[in-house]
Amino acid sequence: MTDWSFAMPWVAALLPLPLLMRWLLPAARNSGPTAVRVPFYDHFADQGSTGQSKRAALIALLAALAWIALTAAAMRPQHVGEPISLPISGRDLMLAVDISGSMDTKDMVVAGATVTRLSTVKAVIDQFIERRQGDRIGLILFGKRAYLQAPLTFDLTTVRTFLQEAAIGLAGKETAIGDAIGLSVKRLRDQIDANRVLILLTDGANTAGEVEPLRAADLAAAEDVKVYTIGVGADEMVVRSFFGNRKVNPSADLDEDTLRGIASKTGGRYFRARDTEGLAEIYSILDQLEPLAEEQEVYRPVTELFHWPLLISLLLTSLLVVLRAGMTEQLA
């Protein structure tokens, strides 16, 4: 339901001010030259008095309307629109995604087709981001080095686009888990009074970087940043060779102990994603652990309309000046 109102209705008390000034202040004296008195002046005066009195009444009416319009503008008329509900969560979620060389391993199945780990991660995380309306999401991509791809933002569409544009090897072939955590903490530490969460996804062990993962976890805990770690990769896949097919463990390099330690130190949890369904289930669990916004803040858009009565007042004042100038010329 829309509404019309005045932001400063008390200004209406100024409406009788011109009348009060007219009653309280002494009338101005006529300082003009004394007119020459002629015998037949009354004849011309009778003919002109009617026109002058009408013009004087018109000037008084215009002056009153101009003052009313000016007072209305000072009262700040507003149009208040329909209520709009805004979700409030106060959560800052940083996503750190591994794009090292091993993420190119094809041990995930989507719609019956074998795809790379990174392709699966993109598909599942994209849906997760889309559901986080009301949260600020940031994206860090890491390989040999960690890079901030998207700062914390409510623009989830842009974050999803940057995620889809991520490519294997863009940040190097190795894996710097500690640096990714350190960069995330740096970006989250300045967010005051927010629920700060890092979701770190990797398929290997820390093989590069300047900060050890567990040391970075200590820094995250000190800054009250909760870290959820996800280990990605199948436990078994068939590899064809000259000697025939053989089964191997493509996730042999996954350092689960370190990932568990990172989560434990920061109050988070460690998850193991062995397939697409498992990864999707993990993000459903994260939705429960870090629930979507439920509180609502009602916002009603306000449109200021003071410029319309102000414009009317200026037009009436301009017309008033013209009429008074005409009367002055006739009297002269």
Q: For the chain, which domains are there?
A: 68-83+300-332 (no CATH), 89-295 (3.40.50.410)
Residue recorded with tokens 């770690």: 229
Tell me: the pLDDT tens digits for 1-34? 558 888 899 999 989 888 888 788 776 665 555 5
288-305 mean pLDDT: 70
Q: Which pLDDT score, from 0 to 100, does residue 44 have?
A: 45
What residues contact residue 158 under an 8 Å CB cut-off, 6+ apart?
Answer: 150
The one-letter amino acid code at 248 reads V
Asked if residue 142 lies in contact with residue 208, where contact means CB atoms within 8 angstroms, the answer is no
The beta-strand segments (E) located in the chain are 3-6, 77-80, 84-88, 91-98, 108-110, 113-115, 136-142, 146-153, 195-202, 226-232, 237-241, 244-248, 270-273, 295-299, 302-304
Tell me: the pLDDT tens digits for 250-283? 677 888 999 999 999 999 999 988 878 888 888 8
Asked if residue 140 lies in contact with residue 147, where contact means CB atoms within 8 angstroms, the answer is yes
- Give this prediction's pTM: 0.61
Q: Which pLDDT score, from 0 to 100, does residue 97 have?
A: 94
**pLDDT band for position 215 (cuts 50, 70, 90):** very high
Cα-Cα-Cα-Cα dihedral sign, residues 86, 91, 94, 95: negative
